[in-house]
Amino acid sequence: MRYTSAPEPDPATVEAVGKLTEALETVEVARGHLYAFHRLTGTADFTLDEAIDLLRHAGHGDLAERLETELLGRNVLPGRWTYQVVEDYEDTYYDVFRAFERQSRELTGGRRHLHEAELKRNRRTNGLRGHEAYPDEPVA
């Protein structure tokens, strides 16, 4: 997003909103790990199903039966499969966190990543290819 004509918020506000955004970025990573947990656990359950079939065909019906009844499709937490863990996390924590971070941008005129934008202004080489301020900035 390009800078607008809205007045620049004070540095303390930019820092505070930036820190809240940084915290949300960490929550996004945690959510990604929950999805990985969900996918990996589901993959393990389907692979377990294959192992049960192989054990049964190899003559180990008792173990196959116990695995099928006691482990296959088992809850990962009381009353919950992994998709329910993900849903509870999103409904209870993630969505609330995102809403507060979005609300905090009212303090910056709706602009995002102002702290990073300031870093970019200070660290880039003006006029050099690969250091453009925005995607369609002409290069001298």
Q: Are 94 and 31 in contact (CB under 8 A)?
A: yes
Q: How far apart are the first and last CA of the chain?
A: 22
Q: Which two tokens stand for residue 66?
A: 């116990």
Which residues touch 3 (CB under 8 Å, ≥6 apart)?
A: 111, 117
Residue 5 has pLDDT above 80, yes or no: no
Q: Give pLDDT tens digits for 56-96.
A: 999 999 999 999 999 999 999 999 999 999 999 999 999 99
Supply φ then ψ for residue 119, to 5 degrees: -60, -45
Compute the distance between CA of residue 51 and CA of residue 78 in angstroms, rounded to an integer.
Answer: 25
Q: Which two tokens stand for residue 130?
A: 């690969």
Instruction: Provide the β-strand partners of residue 77.
Output: 80
Q: Give pLDDT tens digits for 46-56.
A: 999 999 999 99
Compute the distance between CA of residue 42 and CA of residue 92 in angstroms, rounded to an integer.
Answer: 23
Compute the distance between CA of residue 43 and CA of residue 10 in angstroms, rounded to an integer.
Answer: 49
Q: What is the pTM of this model?
A: 0.82
Task: Report pLDDT for 140.
Answer: 66
